[in-house]
Chains A and B, each alone.
Chain A
Amino acid sequence: MGIIRAKEVGYSYKRLNDQGEVESVRQALNNITLDVAAGDFIAILGHNGSGKSTLAKHFNAILAPNEGTLWVDGKDSRQPENVWDIRRTAGMVFQNPDNQIISGVVEEDVGFGPENMGVPTEEIWRRVEESLRAVGMYKFRRHSPNKLSGGQKQRVAIAGVVAMRPKCIVLDEPTAMLDPTGRKEVLKTVGVLNKKEGMTIILITHYMEEVVSADKVFVMDQGEVVMEGTPREIFSQVERLKSYRLDVPQVTLLAYELRKQGIPLPEGVLTNEELVEALCRVRAAGEKQFTENGESV
C-alpha cells in the first residue's frame, strides 16, 4: 500500500450567497483514484484549471474530499483528528515563494514548522541546520528572505518543510514564478531529496521538461486523472497530450515529427542524448544499406 492513496475522490467548491445558501457549485475533482508508492518521484501534469492545486491541497488535508476517501500514510484525511498527523507526513510547498515565508530571517522561517509541532529547542536547531544544508542554503541562514532570489526563496520554503521531517513533499508549481536558473536550482534540490533522503516527491508542474526524470506521471484534465504511466509511456502519445492542451518536451516533439516523416526513430524519446544516439543509429543503418545497394549495382 502506498503512502498516498485516493479512492474515487471527488471535490466541489461551493459558493455561498449572503444568506448562506449554495449559489453555485464547481466540481473541481471527479472520481480520482491513485496510489503513490513511498520513495517515488511523481509528477502531475495538467493545464490551468484542471484541478491540480485542488488535488495537492487534499494530500495535505487542507481540503477533505466530498466524495470518496483519501489516505495519507494510512490515515483517512476526513477524520479531524488525523489532520495534523497528515500535515506532518506530507509537507507542502506553494507556488509563490513570498507568500509562504513567514519570518523575516531564513533560519527562523525554517524553524516555524518544528515550533508549531512542539519540537524541543535543541532539536529545532539541529533540524534547521540539517534542512538548510540539504537545500544548500546554510550560508544564508541569517539573511532576510526579501533579499534572496526566487529560486533561493523557494529552496528556503523547501527547507521549512524538510525540517518537519515529512515522508512526502508536495510541490504545487514551485517553479512557475522563477527564471530558468531558479527552476534548475529548485529541481536539483528536489531531485537530491528524493535520491539521497528517499523522500516521496509529488511535483505539480506544467513545464514538461521537469517531468522527464519522474518515476511516474499523472495527467489531469477537467478534474480527472486521464493518463498515468512512466514519462516514456506518457510522452509517446503526443496527439493525446495535445488534446489535453499539453505540450511535450521539444526533443520528444522533434523525434515525433521526424517519425511522422518516415525516419525510423523509437517512440517517446525524452532527452537530447537519446535523440542523438537514435539518429546516429539511423544514419549508420542508412550507410550500411547504401553500400549494400551500391555493391549490387
Chain B
Amino acid sequence: MIRDITIGQYYPAESVLHRLDPRTKILCTLLYIISLFLFQEWTGYLIATVFLCTAILLSKVPVTFIFRGVKAIMVLLVITVVFNLFLIPGEPVVRIWKLTITDQGIRTAVFTAFRLIYLIFGSSLMTLTTTPNQLTDGLERLLGPLRVFRVPVSELAMMMSIALRFIPILLEETDKIMKAQTARGADFESGNMIKKAKSLVPLLVPLFVSAFRRAADLAMAMEARCYRGGSGRTKMKPLAYGRRDAFAYLITVAYLLLLIGVMRFTK
C-alpha cells in the first residue's frame, strides 16, 4: 500500500500536457479542483468527466498509474462514504438495525466519493506530467511576489523539490525496514490502535536516523556543487509561456464557464 502514493512520481512521456508550462498546469488544476465543488448534479459530473478524460487521453499516462493515487486514499474514501451514507437525513431507503440509509445519503455519498476520486485523478495527472523540479519552478514563480514580505521563496521551492525526490526513496526504505522487522517477528498488523502505534516505534527510529543521515549527506553534496541559496542561480529550464499555454487556459476557463452556465440553467 505504502508504495502506491503517486504524488511526486513523474511519468516520462512526450505529450502536450508534459510540454505545458508548470504554471499553467498548477493554475488549471486549481481551477479544475474548484470546479468540482460547484455542482451537485449529474450534468455537472458529465462535463467534468469529459474534461478529465480528455486531459488523461492527452497526457499519454497509462490509466493504471492514475488509479494508483486512489488506492492511497482508499481508507479516507471508505470513511467518507460510510459517514455520508448513514448520517445524512432524508427519505429512508434501507433500515439496518438502528441505522438508516436515506436517498439523500446515497446521493451525497456517491457524489462525495466521485468528487474525491476526481480530485485525486486531477492532481495525480498534474504531478505525473510535471517533473518535481518543474513543479517547484512553477510554484516558485507563482509565489514570487511573496518575496516582498521576505518569504524565502527560492529556498522553500528547493526544499520542496528535495522532499519530492526523497519521498519514494524513504517509502522504499520504510518497506525494507518493515520487511526486515517482520522477518524477525515484529507484528505491524494485529492488535488495537495503541498496540499498532507502539509497533511503529521500531520502524520510525531507524527511518529517522537514516533520513537525517541522508539530509546531512545531501546538504554536503549540494554545497560541493556550489549551491549557495537562490540568488545568483540561472535556470536550465526557464519558464516561458507559449501558445499552447494560452490555449490550455482558454479551454479550462471555457470548461468552468460552461459548468457554471449549465448549473444556472438547470436550477
Q: What residues of chain A have their CB less than 8 Å away from a CB belonging to chain B?
A: 57, 60, 62, 84, 87-88, 91-92, 94, 96, 98-105, 107-108, 111-121, 124-125, 128, 142-144, 146, 160-161, 164
- A115/B221 contact (C-beta < 8 A), A84-B226, A102-B162 known: no
A125 and B238 alpha carbons, distance in the complex (Å): 12
Determine whether the beta carbon of B220 is less than 8 Å from that of A94: yes
Q: Which of B161, B232, B234, B236 has the most A CB atoms < 10 Å from its CB?
A: B236
Please, how many angstroms separate the alpha-carbon atoms of A32 and B2 in the complex?
49
Query: Per-position contact with A for B1-29: 1 when CB-CB < 8 Å, else 0?
Result: 00000001010100000000000000000
A98 to B215: give the CA distance in the assembly, Å.
Answer: 11
Tell me the chain B residues, 199-244 only, with Cβ under 8 Å from chain A.
213-214, 217-218, 220-228, 232-238
Q: Which 7 A-B pairs have the closest CB atoms?
A: A111-B236, A99-B217, A100-B221, A116-B226, A113-B225, A104-B132, A92-B224
Cα separation A146 to B172 with both chains bound (whole Å): 10
Q: Which residues of B contact A98 (CB under 8 A)?
A: 169, 214
A124 touches B234 (CB 8 A): yes
- A142-B12, A144-B12 are known; give 20 further A-B pairs, CB within 8 A: A87-B223, A88-B226, A91-B224, A99-B213, A99-B221, A102-B161, A103-B131, A104-B132, A104-B133, A105-B132, A108-B133, A108-B237, A112-B227, A113-B226, A115-B233, A115-B236, A116-B226, A121-B235, A146-B169, A164-B225
Known: A87-B224, A105-B10, A160-B225. A115 touches B165 (CB 8 A): no
Mask for B39-51, Cβ within 8 A of A = 1, else 0? 0000000000000
Set A87, A92, A96, A128: member contacting B236, Cβ < 8 A? A128
Q: What are 16 A-B contacts defined by CB distance under 8 Å?
A: A62-B224, A87-B225, A88-B226, A99-B214, A99-B218, A104-B132, A104-B161, A108-B133, A108-B236, A113-B226, A114-B236, A116-B233, A118-B234, A119-B234, A121-B237, A144-B10
* B223/A62 in contact, CB under 8 A: yes
Q: Is the CB of A103 within 8 A of B169?
A: no
Chain B residues closer than 8 Å to A116, beta-carbon distance = 225-228, 233
Is there an interface contact between A104 and B225, defined as CB atoms closer than 8 Å?
Answer: no
Closest Cβ of chain A to B116, distance in Å, is: 26
Please tell me which one of the listed residues A103, A125, A164 contacts residue B226 in the complex, with CB atoms under 8 A apart: A164
Q: Which residue of B lies closest to A119 (CB)?
A: B234
| Cβ contacts under 8 Å, A118 to chain B | 232-234
